[in-house]
Amino acid sequence: MDVDWALLGQEFYMEAVIYTAVATGLHALLADGADDSAVGRLGEQCRFPAKAIVEVLGTAGLVQKDAAGRWRWERGAPSAEMVNRMDAVRRWVTLSTPRAEHLASWKRDADDERLSSSGAAINNFVMSVMHPQAGCRWLDIGGGTAELAGTLARSGVQVTVMDTPPVISRMRSQAVPGLTLYAGDALKGLPRGKFGVISAVRFIEDFTSSQVRQLLKTMRSSLAHGGSICLVSSLDDDTLWAKLFAVEISSINPNGRIYSERLLRVLAARERLAVALQAHCGPYALMVLRPARVARRSRCVRVAPRAVSPRVLVNALL
């Protein structure tokens, strides 16, 4: 498994995507050929991320755009046995209506286990790249299980962890020493004070691009002199896993999306942040941002042109 969000194998996710295409009529639509607007309309009618599904199918080589810009199903018809099997799974898991309050603790524990097992490598990677200094004020936004924050605190860093009220409440019950806990919405503001480092590890995927710009602007204003923003996100958005992750995100949060390195560079530049360092860890990219230096405009001095004789001008041209 090369991505930590995936609970099941790539074969299952692809079968689920193909089943969705068949069950919603997307496969039939693509068999005849359909442009982006037609795909979007079907998605709105059936309430599913049709465009994201087509992106997955395209990356997998099952559909292609023709010369007229219409998506067409290029491979043979999906396996009837597979479609029936996936439909049986659907029937069994919908025998009853699930109640969120009964599933919440199970999902939370599973997420904690997943993040703890996969996050260790990323947290060690962040530590090795950032070289945190004892006494530095560090804000970790979306701290989750506080694994990174706890490691920083044990290194003598003054760590503030910001997350939603339920997550912060759980952190208080776990009594992780050396942490300042702050419950709140990052879009509405960060804790008071200036920080030497502000980190957001696998956090920004929950937001739209305009919201990410707002976050970057708020982070920039909360940096101490010489401070840095540390972002960890997806390395690329063109791989099959990235396209599947986009579908996963949309199923949980319709505002979420994948942010590749190149897109983050653009968004950062618009908020006057420059990329100071980039590094990679598996399918993830670490980007260190710092406030861009604004070049001072030199005073323009207008100098009256001197008269030049034709002979001097000819000699200069020769």
Q: How many domains does the chain have?
A: 2
Does 130 lie in the same domain as 273?
yes
* Sign of torsion over alpha carbons 241, 255, 265, 128: negative
What's the confidence (pLDDT) of residue 175? Answer: 66
pLDDT given for residue 298 in this prediction: 44
Residue 213 reports pLDDT greater than 90: yes
The reply to whether 163 and 53 lie within a common domain is: no
Q: Are residues 69 and 156 in the same domain?
A: no
Q: String of b and e for 203-214 (b: at least 16 CB within 10 Å)?
A: bbbbbebeebbb
Containing structural domain, residue 79: 10-93
Bridge partners (DSSP) of residue 291 are 273
Q: Are residues 128 and 89 in the same domain?
A: no
Q: Is residue 80 domain-shared with residue 133, that is, in the same domain?
A: no
In order, the DSSP letters of 86-148 are: HHHHHHHHTSS---HHHHHHHHHHHHHHHHHHHHHHHHHHHHHHH-PPTT-EEEEET-TT-HH
> Do both 253 and 179 map to the same domain?
yes
Is 147 found in the same domain as 40?
no
> Residues 137, 278: one domain?
yes
Same domain for 142 and 265? Answer: yes
pTM over 0.85: no
CATH of the domain at 194: 3.40.50.150
Question: Is the same domain home to 75 and 131?
Answer: no
84 is a domain residue? yes
- The tokens for 249 are 């995100």
Residue ending a domain, choose from 76, 93, 110: 93
Q: What are 268's two structure tokens?
A: 């950062």
| pLDDT tens-digit map of 125-168 | 899 999 999 899 999 999 877 889 989 999 999 999 999 898 88
Q: Collapse the DSSP code of 308 into the 3-class scheme (helix H, G, I; strand E, B; otherwise coil) and give the result.
A: coil
Give the confidence band of 308 by pLDDT, cuts at 50, 70, 90.
Answer: very low
187 lies in the same domain as 275 = yes
Q: Do residues 249 and 172 both lie within one domain?
A: yes
